[in-house]
Amino acid sequence: MAEFPIMKQILENTGLYTVSEGSLAEAELKAYAAGLDICFDALEELERECFIATAESYGLEYREAMMHRLNLQNTLSARRNALLKAFSITACDYTPEGMEKVRDIFNAHGTFTFDSASHTITFHCTDALTQTEQTFLTEQMGSLMPLWAKFTFETDVSG
């Protein structure tokens, strides 16, 4: 009960109350403090989950769902970094470095190639993915590629 000592001190400092061991005043303050502790703990959790850099559970899950993002890695730092990168994509990112940024959003590994004759950008993925993951990454990465280019996705698990 982190709030009890604070509440007790404030009341006793007024000179109007004496909160002694086993008194009704003490019992009442402890009851209020227990309720406040629950509220303050919930507020601390909410504050933590509001920011990508400190979120640990539903704050990350909400943003990942909003971005329709697939987690290929599940460490907190990898998830946070991928979300920070995802929210930083701009129209100026249609460069090779920008495409690498897109790759990093999804924690995917591989390289991009560009065929200027067919205006095709191909991502050669080195991760072992299920068909569902491949389809998801193709759709999601493709939506972040330049509109004038065709996007293709290939797997090359051998490295």
SS3 of 111-147: the string is EEEEECCCCEEEEEECCCCCHHHHHHHHHHHHHCCCC
Which of 5-19, 128-142, 145-159 is predicted with the least confidence, judged by mean pLDDT? Answer: 145-159
For 92-104, the pLDDT digits (tens) are 777 778 888 888 8
In terms of domains, do 85 and 36 share one? no
> What is residue 69's predicted lDDT score, i.e. its pLDDT?
64
> What is residue 159's predicted lDDT score, i.e. its pLDDT?
52
> What is residue 1's predicted lDDT score, i.e. its pLDDT?
60
Count of structural domains within the chain: 2
Confidence of residue 38 (pLDDT cuts 50, 70, 90): very high
In terms of domains, do 66 and 136 share one? yes
Is it the case that residue 140 has pLDDT exceeding 90?
no
In terms of domains, do 71 and 88 share one? yes
In terms of domains, do 43 and 72 share one? no
Domain containing 124 equals 58-155
Q: Are strands 110-115 and 120-125 parallel, antiparallel or unpaired?
A: antiparallel
In terms of domains, do 63 and 45 share one? no
Entry pTM = 0.56
